[in-house]
Amino acid sequence: MEASRLFAARGFHGTSTRDIAAAVGIRQPTLYSHFPSKHAILAALLDADLRPALARVRAALDLDGSPAARLHALLVADVSAILSLPYDVRGFYNDEVLELLELDEQARLREELHDLTTRLIGLGVESGEFLAEDPSFARGAITGLTLQAVSDRGPDPSPDPAHTALRIADFVVRALLADRRRLGPVQKASAALVPAVASAAE
Amino acid sequence: MEASRLFAARGFHGTSTRDIAAAVGIRQPTLYSHFPSKHAILAALLDADLRPALARVRAALDLDGSPAARLHALLVADVSAILSLPYDVRGFYNDEVLELLELDEQARLREELHDLTTRLIGLGVESGEFLAEDPSFARGAITGLTLQAVSDRGPDPSPDPAHTALRIADFVVRALLADRRRLGPVQKASAALVPAVASAAE
DNA sequence: CATTTTTCCTATCAGTTGATAGCCTCTCGG
DNA sequence: CCGAGAGGCTATCAACTGATAGGAAAAATG
């Protein structure tokens, strides 16, 4: 069912159930023997994106290591995972679709994801490893950079997600670190953490 | 007509012409005595966003000063301007709306905007002031951060756009500078350039 | 005041939307 | 061989979409 990447390209409202059905090779009413409604299709896609992401940030918070290294590893794992998805998460978070509809649970998941990410950044600020930047702002910056990466790659999965993921992680950590000389060690420590974070999403 | 910020909140497809008409206090068919089609409304909003942005980046390229200072000033002016708009540019660039429809001209404007921005970053890389980062990647990062800022502020104009604008500009320049000790002088030089860049958009 | 022009209205259109009802056709355990 | 059930189909629905036609009202012009 993941072929419903049309949501991403044209947005939730811009994609009809007939479009989706045609993309998966069935007729429109047949969709309703798999999902009770159009919203449910979006909810399933959102879940497939949010739940692994939540598992990753939880893992990053539980691991040992400096906050910068853990954030770097989380970013690498997150961006790699999102760029590998067969669909494109852009359209999911653009509209106020999340707020307006009966997607309460997905909105809650996203909020929790944001909270935990903000907390990890906050650890870095408290320890002095990061500049005294507002953790919420930094979290927003990460969201923006990640969505942009998905936009840039287009509708198909990226051939080399790890490359882009590293670039984004480096960019963010470089902007946040109080002492840039720590970038090298952070990258090194991150590389060791990435597998643990990535595998947290089953 | 700028009250059509509904496009931003619900996306182009998610907003009906009746919604727009109701928001501005007229009936739906009356819209068509102001605009020939729904696309034309979006085109007008896109123009109002893109043309000043294009004027700003041209000004930043023409000014004297180090690339970092000019990029910093451009970012401050850009983000301030976008956050001050009475509508929310988010939805404009999310869908493939730009590609799919008869918005060729707006797509061209956006491409030119990207090219010029990339060129300014490239100047910084060539001069050694910036790290040897791919200018296109940096430009994408800027786009992502800017759109995220609009998302965060919500549908209404920001009360204090300059604050957010400075934060974003600092974030980007910090991530790009080869020598972070240059951040202070860059900020200072940028402050002197901002008025010239901002006023370029008439 | 008369007239012209601009702006808005009501009425209506054909096409598309998400969704439901009811029938058909495989597959497979017994 | 058979009955069950999962998954597909056609046909159809009411609601809504963007857009057009033609007339009324209001504002500007003389």
pLDDT digits (tens, 9 = 90+) for A132-175: 999 999 999 999 999 899 888 876 777 789 999 999 999 999 99
Confidence of residue B90 (pLDDT cuts 50, 70, 90): confident
Q: Count of CB atoms within 10 A of residue A119's CB?
A: 14
Residue A27 approaches strand D within 7 Å at CB:
yes
Which positions on strand D lie below 7 Å from a protein C-beta? Answer: 7-12, 16-22
Residue B81 is assigned to a structural domain of this protein:
yes
CATH code, domain carrying A59: 1.10.357.10
What is the count of structural domains for chain A?
A: 1
Residue A158 is assigned to a structural domain of this protein:
yes
Average pLDDT, chain B: 91
Give me the half-sphere count of Cα atoms (radius 13 Å) on the Cβ side of residue A87. Answer: 24
Residue A146 is assigned to a structural domain of this protein:
yes
For the CA of A95 and the C1' of D16, the distance in angstroms is: 20
Digit-coded pLDDT (tens) for B152-166? 887 677 778 999 999
Residue-level pLDDT at B194: 98
Exposure string (b/e) for A7-36, b if CB count within 10 Å is 16 or more? bbbbbbbbbebeebbeeeeeeeeebeeebe
Digit-coded pLDDT (tens) for A13-33? 889 999 999 998 999 999 999
Residue A108 approaches strand D within 7 Å at CB:
no
DSSP category for residue A179: S
- By Cβ distance, the residue of B90, B144, B145 closest to A94 is B90
Residue A95 is assigned to a structural domain of this protein:
yes
DSSP category for residue A91: G
Residue-level pLDDT at B94: 66
Residue A33 is assigned to a structural domain of this protein:
no
Q: Cβ contact (<8 Å) for A14 and B10?
A: no
Nearest nucleotide by C1' position to the B26 CA atom: C8
Sequence letter at residue B125: V
Which domain range does residue B161 map to? 46-199
Please state, for a pLDDT cut of 70, what percent of chain A lies above it: 93
What is the ipTM for the molecules in this complex? 0.90
B180/chain A closest Cα distance in angstroms: 8
In the predicted model, is pLDDT for residue B3 greater than 70?
no
Residue B5 is assigned to a structural domain of this protein:
no
* Of A118-127, B72-81, B94-103, minimum mean pLDDT range: B94-103
Residue B86 is assigned to a structural domain of this protein:
yes
Residue-level pLDDT at B141: 97
In the predicted model, is pLDDT for residue A6 greater than 60?
yes
Residue A86 is assigned to a structural domain of this protein:
yes
Element (H, E) at A65: none
Q: Is A177 left (phi over 0), alpha (psi -120 to 50) or beta?
A: beta
**Which residue in chain B has the smallest CA separation from A143?**
B148
